[in-house]
Each structure stands twice: as structure tokens, then as C-alpha cells.
Chain A
Amino acid sequence: MADTIFTVRSVTKAFGGLTALKAVTLEVGREEIFAVIGPNGAGKTTLFNVISGVYRPDEGEIYLAGRPLHGLTTHRIARLGVARTFQITRLFKQLTVLDNVVLGFGRGDIDPRGLVGGARRPAEVERAKELLAAVGLKDSAGLTAGTLAYGDQRRLELARAMAMDPTLLLLDEPCAGLTHHEALELAALIRRLKDSGVTVVLVEHNMYVAMGVADRVAVLDHGEKIAEGSPEAIQRDPVVIEAYLGRGEAGEDRA
């Protein structure tokens, strides 16, 4: 593993009596693709929401390139270099495809630069079109985002996230709802993004998608990390197999 750029240290998050994350620790190397897998309800999306500031961790610390992220608001974390996509795509559906990407460039709120040069500057339009071309949406820039096919919406989410020039890209089940063919294409796209210098953490319910794209894999079950290692090692790990296939008779049959 290359030098660590992203650290989650002993993060715990509970909702009432339900502990969604129990002292979860992750260390992700620079330009690594790191997958977090686990059965439904294992705490994967909660982990993303804690990292991106939607929830505050009850305990634990999160660092990106040495900077603490825990306790910051969502937009601050985004500006420090964390971009994300969502399990069910969350585009600005009534805006154009181009404007969705342009919003990733920042200068969006009280920034006085937002008041001059129009809603989108020529250089920004140029760059947005490059990003759209990179995800295969070159010809859709003028469409309303909500009219895109689902697979294209996923690509647009990726382009919008990349517009933020992130250090860390969080992908929440990037292949959910895609056909097998689309999923393969997206996996290839994710690997290309990695080569452009971004570190990727993705959560996946589908183990085989995760295995295909990730350099390393961690497994969550009931909010706890039960295993971590290379995809090959994880696939053979009896603890992981048990978590996925259930305990008791079914597991014994398989063994």
C-alpha cells in the first residue's frame, strides 16, 4: 500500500439504540481503489454519510491528507476535497446536464466571484464539456438532467463529482440499477479516474462488482469491520462467507 491519504479511526455512530457503526477503522492509500462491502444494513451508507458530514460521528476521527474532517459541515468537507455519488442518483434534475457539472466547480454561494461573469464562464463550460466527454456524455450537455437514462445519470454524477477536483471520491453503490454491460463500463471508468490521480472509496452490495474493481476490500457486518484484505483473500475468508450467506445450517451446508 502506498502512503496513507485517508484515515477513518475508531468511528462509532449510533441512532437511538441501534449502533450503525462500531469502532470502524480504515486506512486508504493514495490513488487506491478501496471497496467497503457488506450485506444490506451493514452500515455502508452510514459510513459515507459520516465521512461526508451528513452525520457527525459519536466517536472517532476522520482525516484526509492529515486534515481532520470529523465535525465539519458537509459543504466544508466537500471543499476540502471529498466528492461523492449516491446510491440512488441525486442529480439536480431540473437543471441541464452542463449546469450539473458546472456546479461542481464551486464559487456557488456568498463568494463574490459568483456574482460576476455570469452563471457559467467560458472556461468553465469548456472544462465541463471535457469532463462530460470523459464519461461519454459529450452530446447530452444541453439536455435536462432528469431526462437522461439511468445509466447516463450515474455517469453524470461521476462527472459532477470529478468537477470538484476531489482528492477522495466516495461512490455509493455505483453499479446499482445498471445492466451487467453498463456495470462493466462503469468499472472501467472508475479505474481510469484512479489513473488521473484520485483516491476512490466505494461501497458495494454486489461483492463481484467490488472484487472486480478494487485494490483492497474491507467487509462490514452489523456496523463492524470483520475483514480486510485483497479481493482474493476476502473471497476465501470463511468469516466473510458466513456474513454473506448466513449463519447456521445454510453456512454448514456450504462448508
Chain B
Amino acid sequence: MVVQQIANGVVLGSLYALVALGLTLVYGVLRILHVAHAGVFVLGAYVGVLVYLPTGSLALAIVSAAVVCSLAGLIMYRFLYRPVLGRPPLVPLIISIGAFMFLEDLYRLVMGPYIKSLPVTIRAAGFETAAVRLTGYQLFIVAAAAGLLLGLWWLMRGTRLGLAWRASAQDLETAAAHGINTDVIIGVCFVIGSAIAAVAGVMVGGYYNQVYPSMGSVPAYKALAVIVLGGMGSVPGTVIAGLALGLAETLTMVWVGTFLPRDAIAFLVLILMLLVKPTGLLGRAS
């Protein structure tokens, strides 16, 4: 039972980490809370529905969602955030919340208010022992998350782009003074973060077999909890915090039962973290 819940927690936690990564990347370079990122996640799920139902190809659905969402992320940066760079952080925050609400209603108008199903089937075999059972789809989620994280790690640690990116996250103006086109670096953060959220959107839609306009609301606040928990702007911190939240949620189901609503745990963990170490797991005091 416990082993099974740990396995479930890892699957859930991988999805949290993927959704929160976009927030971390954007916060890392711009110090902006990109709340509308959850709207991009939902967009990914809808593109997944639109592509998967007629074609039956999960790969095609994921790639299309990633492409569409990258573009959406880039457009958001260019037209929502870039015009207000240098304003107090409250300004982009309000814009972001507004954009998120707009997106939810846009999906409701265009796609209808009802739940769409995304009945993903996958050929990969599951995994089953006496203690734990994982479906092929769950394994796929964990493998895809691990692959994306490895790719991101390579990009940040193994390329000059990544070095320039880390420099920009520390000081945009100085990075620019050394010939780094920071506009491009920020754009790359939006593209990569949005593409990863799109993949998560399709995977979550398929996991629960449902896609609906407000499916981003709960991930939106959980992602906020995850990035605070991980230490604002820290990529490894985000991954650890995502997994920790997934595990905390599933394990409390075992030990505490449904007495405590699962979605409240993110905040409990968040409050505890803020009391003990306000800078987050891997955050630095700034």
C-alpha cells in the first residue's frame, strides 16, 4: 500500500514539476510570477484533444501541443510582459492573472464548458509486483518527465546558451553589457517552459481522461506552492519540490485518509516551509 502510494506520488509529482518548471524559468530571468502559465498548460491539453482524437497518435498530439504552446508563450512575453518590464512586480502579476482568466473563458467559449475526454491508450506494458502496480501510461509519464528534465539540465549546464542563461538570471543588464541578447534568453525561457507545460497538459488530460476549461486552476496554485517550496527560480529545487508535493499528497491519503482534502496539502506544506526556511529548499537569500 505504501509502496504503491509512493509510486503514485512520483507520477503525480513529475507532473507538478513539469507544470511548475515554466514558472521557475520565467521567474528566474524576469522575477515575474507568470500565473497565466497554467492557461498555457490547458491550451496544451486542448491541442492534445484536437490532434489525438482524429489521428490517434499520442506523439503527434504532444509535439503539436508543444509547438502551439511555445508560440503562445512567446506571444505572451512579447505582448503582455515585455511592454511592462521595469514596472513594479504587481503590474505584470495583475496582467498575468487577467490573462489567465481570459484564457479560461476563451476555452469555455471556443471548446464549450463541458469535459472533453482524452482516452489515451499506450502500447507500453505496465509494471506489476505484489507491492506495486504501475500502468504503461504512468511509466510513460515518469519516463517523459525524466527525459525532459535531463534535456533541460544538459541545456543549462552543457551549453553556452545555458551559461548565458544563468548569467542573465543573475543580472540581465550586466549580461546585456557583455553582448548577450537577453531578449532572446527570456524568449527561450518562455518557449521551453511553455512547451514543457504543454506536454504536461496532454499527459494530465490523458491520465484523468478529461480536459475542461478550468483544469488549470488547481495546477496554477499548486505550481506557485512548488516554486516557493523549491526556492524561487531554482530548477533542481522545483523538481525536488514537485516530487515532494506529489509524495506528500499521496502519502497523507494513506496515513491521514481523506479527512484532509488532498488539494489543501500544497498549502500546508507551503506554510510549514515558509515558517522553517522562507527561501525554499534550494533558494538563496537575495
Binding site for B on A (CB under 8 A): 52-54, 73-75, 78-79, 83-84, 86, 90-95, 99, 102-104, 106-111, 113-120, 160, 164
Contact = CB atoms under 8 A, between A and B. Distances in A.
B179 A75 contact: yes
B194 to A, nearest CB: 17
Contacts of A93: 170
B178 interface: yes
Nearest to B163: A119
B184 interface: yes
Contacts of B185: 109
Nearest to A52: B177
A110 B191 CA distance: 13
Nearest to A73: B176
Given A91-B174, A113-B160, 19 more contacts: A54-B173, A73-B181, A74-B173, A75-B179, A83-B178, A92-B171, A99-B167, A102-B163, A103-B163, A103-B164, A106-B179, A108-B161, A109-B164, A109-B184, A116-B159, A119-B157, A119-B158, A119-B163, A120-B163
A74 B163 contact: no
B142 to A, nearest CB: 27
Contacts of A53: 176
A95 B179 contact: no
A164 B179 contact: yes
B125 to A, nearest CB: 35
Contacts of B160: 107-108, 111, 113-115, 117-120
A81 to B, nearest CB: 10
Nearest to B186: A109
B166 A92 contact: yes
A78 B176 CA distance: 8
Greatest chain A CB density within 10 A among B158, B171, B176, B185 is at: B176
A110 B159 contact: no
Contacts of B144: none
Contacts of A160: 178
A29 B167 CA distance: 33
A84 B177 contact: yes
The dominant DSSP class at the A interface is: loop
Given A94-B166, A115-B161, A119-B160, A75 B181 contact: yes
Nearest to A84: B177
B82 to A, nearest CB: 13
Nearest to A160: B178
A113 B163 CA distance: 13
A79 B179 contact: yes
Given A92-B170, A92-B171, A119 B179 contact: no
A109 B181 contact: yes
Contacts of A74: 173, 176-177
B180 interface: yes
B238 interface: no
A103 B181 CA distance: 12
B119 interface: no
Nearest to B170: A92
Contacts of A78: 176-179
A103 B160 CA distance: 8
A102 B160 CA distance: 9
Contacts of B180: 75, 103, 108-109
Given A90-B171, A92-B170, A118-B158, A108 B163 contact: yes
B162 interface: yes
9 contacts: A74-B177, A75-B182, A92-B166, A92-B174, A103-B163, A103-B178, A108-B180, A110-B188, A119-B158
Contacts of A164: 178-179
A190 B163 CA distance: 28
A8 B174 CA distance: 22
A41 B137 CA distance: 64
B174 A90 contact: yes
Contacts of B188: 109-110
Nearest to A146: B170
Contacts of B182: 75, 109
A99 B168 CA distance: 13
B150 to A, nearest CB: 16
A94 B170 contact: yes
Q: Which of A53, A94, A109, A164 has the most CB of B within 10 A?
A: A109
Contacts of B171: 90, 92
